[in-house]
Chains A and B, each alone.
Chain A
């Protein structure tokens, strides 16, 4: 059913991505590919992977932008994946019911058994989050790692999306954005988290935390240099003392 859930639950699982912290290492994108090519939507086909013009399905891609100029300019690494919108046009345009939004937690998924591969959902998504698998003939997208977050076989600390578990800088956070007291909701509140392209009216669940303002008065980056130390030489006796005296003349 591609109509949105009539009675959506209060739970809204999603990601919070901290653009102040992200270092653009692409580890989240690589671990996403690694996990999901064996997960719910497996495989994430690569065509011509070792050729001059490879083409492959990725659920998470890291873009790098420059914003502003001169001293005020910033380089911002920008991971981008499905935002699991509350008003997802990709779901309502689906003619077959393959695209759906889960009532229990708001995760947007594709049923690969009923997808006809018309690609209209990828046209409807303003964020370019859906990627078509030419080999399978179906549309694929971020599942928020439903096969990790609900996986009883994993230790509890690993029941987070692959991108979150792998981020070496802790720039990615996973949780319930429908609960105002959750850690992710508090983070969004404290850091003025925002929606991407709000003018598209998709009401994305995932939020982005803006880069912090740079410190205007740059604190010194290192301790002051020590004055060069000239050790006091003590006169030595004996043969070595004689050599020292002879050479110091």
Chain B
């Protein structure tokens, strides 16, 4: 599948924003942070800013962005519509929670419950994003039970690292929160490893033989394409990446997105002051690169069954 930058930015930025929002509610709920105005203001602006920038970016690849509001109507059948509804609804409790924190300086009682609602809706939005991909039978590598947990995992781990970094900037000692972020990161990348193993070893779902129904005659191969230059389907679905490049990019994403952040976060848990801040900033930079590469690969490595009509032998 063609890795569109707008969709890569949306799925990474918004999901990090939602993850940060969830961890902000957890920090407030556990009393790990006091609702100071400065920390709250910066964190809400960054988390909601990432969410909003991602959502806006996702409308840039539309043919008619001015009609985007229509996408809220078909939540009965469409995961994309459900994602849109969940994203819009999440703003309400998120902004009320922010108002309690910033204007009244309280994150307790009803305000905390509103925050918990915002956290649940954030997770639901990210899960809907995962379901958009997981529900597509035409792309068999996405149609597997790891995709939704992976989207949630990346949201929670990158959100945790962002939150720990912001807290460290405001003078909080990362301590156990750095280790929680490290654990979330390790768990997520372990799932990613399993996903890669799955897509490398799963039996093909469809073949050129089943796509044409000519398997009884023998092995089917394309003799002549219907068109002399690439058409929309070939450009959108036919994005291919050489196996050796994919292997190298997987290593780059594992090193920057998993190894560097986990080591840095484990160290940060023992440290304080500037060394801890330096370590969590390094973890944040590593995770940003690692997740962007991982998301690019998620699209580039996925094969669409329509390509069976354009020369692919199986998907």
Would you give the 0/1 interface string for B225-245, flagging 1 where the beta carbon is closer than 8 Å to chain A? 111111111011100000000
Least Cβ distance of B313 to chain A in Å?
A: 12
Q: Is A66 a contact of B221 with CB atoms below 8 Å? A: yes
Specify the chain B residue showing the minimal Cβ separation from A52: B229
Most A Cβ at <10 Å: residue of B68, B227, B308: B227
Q: Is A74 a contact of B217 with CB atoms below 8 Å? A: yes
Q: Is B62 a contact of A117 with CB atoms below 8 Å? A: yes
Q: Is B67 a contact of A96 with CB atoms below 8 Å? A: yes
Specify the chain B residue showing the minimal Cβ separation from A113: B67
Q: Is B68 a contact of A116 with CB atoms below 8 Å? A: yes
Q: Does B64 contact A (CB under 8 A)?
A: yes
Would you give the 0/1 interface string for A107-124, flagging 1 where the beta carbon is closer than 8 Å to chain B? 000000011111110111
| A114 in contact with B236 given A3-B77, A55-B229, A63-B226 (CB within 8 Å) | no
Would you give the 0/1 interface string for B273-308, flagging 1 where the beta carbon is closer than 8 Å to chain A? 000000000000000000000000000000011111
Residues of chain A within 8 A of B213, CB atoms compared: 194-196, 208, 210
Instruction: Count B interface residues, CB 8 Å.
Output: 63
Point out the residue from B68, B219, B308 that lies within 8 Å of A69, measured CB to CB: B219
Instruction: Count A interface residues, CB 8 Å.
Output: 73
Q: Is A125 a contact of B306 with CB atoms below 8 Å? A: yes
Q: Is A64 a contact of B67 with CB atoms below 8 Å? A: no
Q: Does B70 contact A (CB under 8 A)?
A: yes
Q: Is B237 a contact of A115 with CB atoms below 8 Å? A: no
Q: Does A132 contact B (CB under 8 A)?
A: yes
Q: Does B136 contact A (CB under 8 A)?
A: yes
| A114 vs B208: C-alpha distance when bound (angstroms) | 35
Q: Does B155 contact A (CB under 8 A)?
A: no
Specify the chain A residue showing the minimal Cβ separation from B204: A199
Least Cβ distance of A140 to chain B in Å?
A: 10
Least Cβ distance of A167 to chain B in Å?
A: 16
Least Cβ distance of A27 to chain B in Å?
A: 13
Would you give the 0/1 interface string for B47-76, flagging 1 where the beta carbon is closer than 8 Å to chain A? 000000000000001111101101111101
Q: Does B251 contact A (CB under 8 A)?
A: no
Q: Does B205 contact A (CB under 8 A)?
A: yes
| A95 vs B80: C-alpha distance when bound (angstroms) | 6
Point out the residue from B73, B80, B206, B228 that lies within 8 Å of A120, measured CB to CB: B80
Point out the residue from A1, A123, A195 that lies within 8 Å of B1, measured CB to CB: A123
| A72 in contact with B232 given A65-B222, A95-B78, A118-B80 (CB within 8 Å) | no
Q: Is B74 a contact of A125 with CB atoms below 8 Å? A: no
Point out the residue from A73, A80, A200 that lies within 8 Å of B305, measured CB to CB: A200
Secondary structure of the A contact surface, majority rule: loop
Specify the chain A residue showing the minimal Cβ separation from B142: A123
| A1 vs B216: C-alpha distance when bound (angstroms) | 40
Least Cβ distance of B15 to chain A in Å?
A: 18
Q: Does A16 contact B (CB under 8 A)?
A: no
Q: Does B79 contact A (CB under 8 A)?
A: yes
Would you give the 0/1 interface string for A194-232, flagging 1 where the beta carbon is closer than 8 Å to chain B? 111111110000001011000000000000000000000
Residues of chain B within 8 A of A3, CB atoms compared: 74, 76-77
Would you give the 0/1 interface string for A17-37, flagging 1 where the beta carbon is closer than 8 Å to chain B? 001000010100100000000
Q: Does B132 contact A (CB under 8 A)?
A: yes
Residues of chain B within 8 A of A58, CB atoms compared: 226-227, 231
Q: Does A138 contact B (CB under 8 A)?
A: yes
Least Cβ distance of B93 to chain A in Å?
A: 23
Q: Is A96 a contact of B137 with CB atoms below 8 Å? A: no
Q: Does A137 contact B (CB under 8 A)?
A: yes
Q: Does B190 contact A (CB under 8 A)?
A: no
Least Cβ distance of A20 to chain B in Å?
A: 12
Binding site for A on B (CB under 8 A): 1, 61-65, 67-68, 70-74, 76-81, 84, 132, 135-139, 205-206, 208, 210-233, 235-237, 304-310
Ranked nearest first, the 4 interchain pairs of A and B with the lowest CB-CB distance are: A117-B63, A68-B218, A137-B63, A128-B306
* Interface pairs (8), CB distance under 8 Å: A63-B224, A63-B225, A66-B223, A76-B214, A117-B63, A119-B63, A122-B232, A198-B210
